Amino acid sequence: KNQVEQSPQSLIILEGKNCTLQCNYTVSPFSNLRWYKQDTGRGPVSLTIMTFSENTKSNGRYTATLDADTKQSSLHITASQLSDSASYICVVSGAGSYQLTFGKGTKLSVIP
Amino acid sequence: GAGVSQSPSNKVTEKGKDVELRCDPISGHTALYWYRQRLGQGLEFLIYFQGNSAPDKSGLPSDRFSAERTGESVSTLTIQRTQQEDSAVYLCASGLAGAHEQFFGPGTRLTVL
């Protein structure tokens, strides 16, 4: 069964600090992995998309890594801001399929 | 519009009533998806449209759920005889056929009393 597991479930950090969120998946065959940011009451917004051949992708202060061998990904947030408070969702797409497997997300709270 | 829109943003209904949720995708996007997000859970796939056809309805949880799409544009998700377990946020996403990217709407929060 295709699964995406994220850790931690929730995280509280001080403004200006860095943090790293983790994602493990069992989706096979693999096509791509995405990280989404979901603000409360809003739909998810894409941060990064990585295919099998990519192991790092950045979007501003967000840097995602992918190890397709170990089926792990991480999202690193640098110099956090209050507006980074949201749920961060790891989503994996299987090869030849439009269906996505979603993690439950990590709820990040950035406090002053 | 610039993005995917959904209406209503919130819907409170009584158990047993029917509800209709609407999604307006980004113009030109042929692919449209419906998802359900229960509190504290990941998104669950419900149905996928390519144009006006739904090649995959495998995620619809019961025959009380149905969806249609017209004009390769607007889609409606209908839930008949709502139950309390139907309470969730229903998200719609659209994208270009074959593309990796899906653009999500803000969702409709459904509460069944």
Tell me what pLDDT residue B1 has: 52
DSSP 8-state secondary structure symbol assigned to residue B25: P
- Contact between B4 and A65 under an 8 Å Cβ cutoff? The reply is no
Phi, psi of A84 (to 5 degrees): -80, -10
- Sign, CA dihedral B51-B56-B61-B62, equals positive
Give B14-42 pLDDT, tens digit per residue.
999 999 999 999 999 999 999 999 988 88
Which chain A residues are closer than 8 Å to B91 by Cβ?
43-44
Q: Per residue in B58-110, pLDDT tens?
A: 889 999 999 999 998 999 999 999 999 999 999 999 998 766 688 999 999 99
Chain A partners of B33 at a C-beta cutoff of 8 Å?
98
* DSSP state for residue A77 in the 8-state scheme: E
> Whole-angstrom Cα distance, residue B38 to residue A83?
24
Contact B52, B71 (CB under 8 A): yes
Main-chain phi, psi angles of B89, to 5 degrees:
-95, 130
Q: Which of B26, B100, B101 has the most A C-beta neighbours within 10 Å, making it the best mutation to test the interface with A?
A: B100
Interface of A to B at Cβ within 8 Å reads: 4, 31-32, 34, 36, 41-46, 49, 89, 93, 98-100, 102-105
Minimal C-alpha gap between B107 and chain A (Å): 6
The per-residue pLDDT for B99 is 64
Residue A8, preceding bond cis, omega within 30 degrees?
Answer: yes
Low-confidence spans in chain A with pLDDT less than 50: none
Contact A99, A82 (CB under 8 A): no
Out of B4, B43, B105, name the one closest to residue A102 (CB). B43
CA angle B37, B41, B46 (to 5 degrees): 40
Beta pairing class for A100-102 and A86-94: antiparallel
The better pLDDT of the pair B48, A78 is held by A78
Q: Using an 8 Å CB-CB cutoff, list chain B residues near A46.
A: 101-103
Are A102 and B93 in contact (CB < 8 Å)?
no
